Structure 1
Amino acid sequence: MRRELLVPKLGLTMTEGTLVEWMVQPGDAFQAGQGIFVVESEKAANEIGADADGVLLEVVAEVGTTLACGSVIGYWDDGAAGEGVVAPAATPAAQAVCAPAAEVLAPAPAALQAGQRVPVTPLARRIAGQRGVELALVTGSGPRGRIRARDVLAVSEAQPHSDAAAPTGNLRAPTPLERTIAQRLTQAKQQIPHFYLSVEAEVSALMRLRQEMNAAQTQQKFTLNHFVLAAVGQALEAMPQVNRVWTDQGILSLGASDVGMAVNTDKGLMVPVLRAVGQQSLGGVARQSAALIARVQAGRLSAAEMQGGAITVSNAGMHDVSYMASIINPGQAMILGVGSVRELFRPDDGGQPVIRREMGMVLSADHRVLDGVTALQFLKRIVQALSQPAGLLVQ
């Protein structure tokens, strides 16, 4: 039976996806679980696998096209009786949670009448808005006359521009990932009432302990970030009242001490989430961290691996910064910005100058979920754990 392939909805905030690869071609047979195509959205490229054996019949979406969730991108045959009938999509598995998009373009007639809507891809519509191109002046080159991004760019480049009004530099459309990050951070900054707490952690003992641990063995090397992640996880276990997030339905208390970890890539900032950090050994935290970073670098991180947790750790210490006040990751309630370790003199109990190693940290918190006193108590637990790091080795 002929069935539809749809752009899947892979997360609550996903409204569209970009088709980045067809892994099979028309006429190719595939087996259940085999990858059929790859869709990029919500900060990740997701390989979509088949739910059942079948044959790819036709593709109707080109690689590089951005489409609304629920759009048809191809057809396949499941081998069942009923040839010629189009059945609802049943594969890939991710399509089981794919709700229809708010707006799916209908097939365009051969000739558009005056006042009719021009079929246009979401990316082409955005570029047209950025460049001031009237869509009515654009001839679409896509299926059924649909206007694509390259059609808008061609018209834009052919239009006369005023040297006095045109800004200098090169304009390009943002990538799907850049657009997603911009939308999510703008939403977070506008809708989440942030407040900020800054402290310094004295990490001389931590630096010595890390050096001794790394010198004692070669299989597992520990970074400062491993200790910070472990300290945050233990603080969540000790104060479950801060392990909660704001939702449209109410305040959700989380059961596990999951912690997000900001990872910088050439495509933008990715935030995989470590699971049950407060219940793991320091070695377990380091191994889970390394595995997630490897998946990020390989471009194999799934949407599920970036969901959950009430807090993210964003460590910029390697970039010579004293403090960093970060924007809360949407869906969470806190983010801890970690700065560089600084050497400076502080007076001891007798008033004599003593050199210290201090690491500046800023906790950004959601005031809908946390008050200042509770957030400060949580932050102080993290500082104490980093200042007396032997406790991080006890599990």
Structure 2
Amino acid sequence: MAIDLLMPKLGLTMTEGVLLEWKVRPGDAVARGQLLYVIETDKIATEVEAEADGVLEAQLVAEGETVPVGAVVGRLAGSDEASGAKPRPNAATEDKIQVSQPRAIPASPVSRRGDAQRIVATPLARRMARAHSLDLAAVTGSGPRGRIKAIDVERTLGEPRQAPEKAGAGNAIRAKPSATQAAMARRLAEVKQGVPHFYLSTEIEVSALIALRETLNADATAPRLTLNHFVLAAAGRALRDHPNINRVWSEGELLAFAESDVSMAVETERGLLVPVIRDAGRRALDAVAADARDLVERARSGRLSAADMTGGAIAVSNAGMHDVTWVTSIINPGQSAILGVGSVRSLFRPDAQGKPELRREMGVVLSADHRVHTGVEGLAFLSSLKAYLETPMRLLRQI
């Protein structure tokens, strides 16, 4: 009995994915739990395992090809159990397959060193190694648990990251983007062209926040709090106060979320990832900060799952560490708003008596989808955000 292998749906707004790599070839025997293929979306690369024993009968989609969700990418024969590719049942495919549980690539093996030791590498490192016909067994990884990173492959090769194709004139070079870069470029272009953005900005006085943070961080036994932890917690509270902001536009309909989830932009070796802090609006600051630290560590070590990247109507992009005053961001695919956070500045403002007063201010910009939000709703959200950050003691307790 031949069983269809499908492109999984990893999130409410995912419509297509890239089949990045086949791990088995036609005719290969496959055991339950064995890695079959790797797919990549605009957010994350994910491995798909077999749910049953069988033999790969056919590969119907070539590596690097983009196909819609639910498309048949291959067939498995010799088993009455299906192998699928999504983390939870979906109406479009539930009656056809028994699904497998995708997992993030960097946390799983990509090859073997001898019979006992597995080689763990990032997707970019594997692509670079394939491009140069380099055996990853010859590379010493510098990442956690010996994980091989792109810089390790570069060091072994002793040459730049990718041998680029020279352009026709001058010193310009031409290089093919990775599947992740291409997908992200396409999706962000679609968002910018297809989503009517509007922007609202304000300045927030954060002297009280900075003083509270210094007091809390004076406890050497407690985990360190950053300004971004306060922003994430405040965004969650403001989202809970204004549930109309907690919606997205999905296939011509408004989709409202029950929990006040907040995404956070994290720069990693393989690009920008946007994991989600669950129900940030109800939780105390220390719990939000703990989740944020965990997500950053797992994002940078390549251990995020597809579920970590799914959901949330709003994201926070903090560029304050780069001495940037205003950050005007493009809304992430599948969301309806993003909050750009700038650096803290010291400046004098007139007080109630007109005398100069030293203030610590931080500029924020809300980019919002006008199909979902009105200007009044956006202003109300920013007003709540500002109030929480200017009176930060309220963030310390759970709701």
- Whether the TM-score (by the shorter chain) exceeds 0.5 is yes
Alpha-carbon deviations, 1:62-92, whole Å to 9, x = none?
99543535354464532x6xxxxxxxx8203
C-alpha displacement of 1:219: 4.0
Partner of 2:47: 47
Specify whether residues 391 and 10 from structure 1 end up closer, same or farther in structure 2 by C-alpha distance, changes over 3 A only. Answer: closer
C-alpha displacement of 1:27: 5.0
Partner of 2:31: 30
- Secondary structure of the residue aligned to 2:334 is coil
Partner of 2:156: none
Q: Is the 8 A contact 1:55 1:77 kept in 2?
A: yes
Amino acid at match of 1:43: K
Specify whether residues 10 and 237 from structure 1 end up closer, same or farther in structure 2 by C-alpha distance, changes over 3 A only. Answer: closer
- Secondary structure of the residue aligned to 1:94 is coil
Partner of 1:323: 326
Please tell me whether residue 332 in structure 1 is matched to residue 324 in structure 2: no
Question: What aligned pairs does 1:340-379 form with structure 2 within 5 A after superposition?
Answer: 340-379=343-382
Specify whether residues 169 and 99 from structure 1 end up closer, same or farther in structure 2 by C-alpha distance, changes over 3 A only. Answer: farther
1:273 to 272, 276, 286: 276
C-alpha displacement of 1:49: 2.4
Please tell me whether residue 185 in structure 1 is matched to residue 188 in structure 2: yes
CA distance in 2, matches of 1:162, 1:316: 33
C-alpha displacement of 1:34: 4.9
1:284 to 287, 292, 303: 287
CA distance in 2, matches of 1:390, 1:255: 25
Please tell me whether residue 92 in structure 1 is matched to residue 84 in structure 2: yes
C-alpha displacement of 1:317: 0.5
Alpha-carbon deviations, 1:336-386, whole Å to 9, x = none?
100001111122222222221111101112222222222112101111111
Amino acid at match of 1:50: A
Partner of 2:65: 66
What is the total number of aligned residue pairs between the two structures?
Answer: 324
CA distance in 1, matches of 2:294, 2:21: 24
Partner of 1:257: 260
1:221 to 221, 224, 237: 224
Aligned-pair identity in percent equals 46
CA distance in 2, matches of 1:98, 1:63: 26
C-alpha displacement of 1:326: 0.8
Specify whether residues 27 and 257 from structure 1 end up closer, same or farther in structure 2 by C-alpha distance, changes over 3 A only. Answer: same
Please tell me whether residue 311 in structure 1 is matched to residue 314 in structure 2: yes
Question: What aligned pairs does 1:208-247 form with structure 2 within 5 A after superposition?
Answer: 208-247=211-250
Specify whether residues 56 and 292 from structure 1 end up closer, same or farther in structure 2 by C-alpha distance, changes over 3 A only. Answer: farther
Specify whether residues 378 and 169 from structure 1 end up closer, same or farther in structure 2 by C-alpha distance, changes over 3 A only. Answer: same
C-alpha displacement of 1:184: 1.5
Specify whether residues 354 and 67 from structure 1 end up closer, same or farther in structure 2 by C-alpha distance, changes over 3 A only. Answer: closer
Q: Is the 8 A contact 2:56 2:76 kept in 1?
A: yes
Unaligned segments of structure 1, at least 5 residues? 81-88, 101-156
CA distance in 2, matches of 1:330, 1:300: 22
Alpha-carbon deviations, 1:132-191, whole Å to 9, x = none?
xxxxxxxxxxxxxxxxxxxxxxxxx8xxx996xx46411122211111111121111112
CA distance in 1, matches of 2:199, 2:55: 53
Root-mean-square deviation (Å): 3.1
Partner of 2:395: 392
TM-score (norm 1): 0.73
C-alpha displacement of 1:235: 0.9
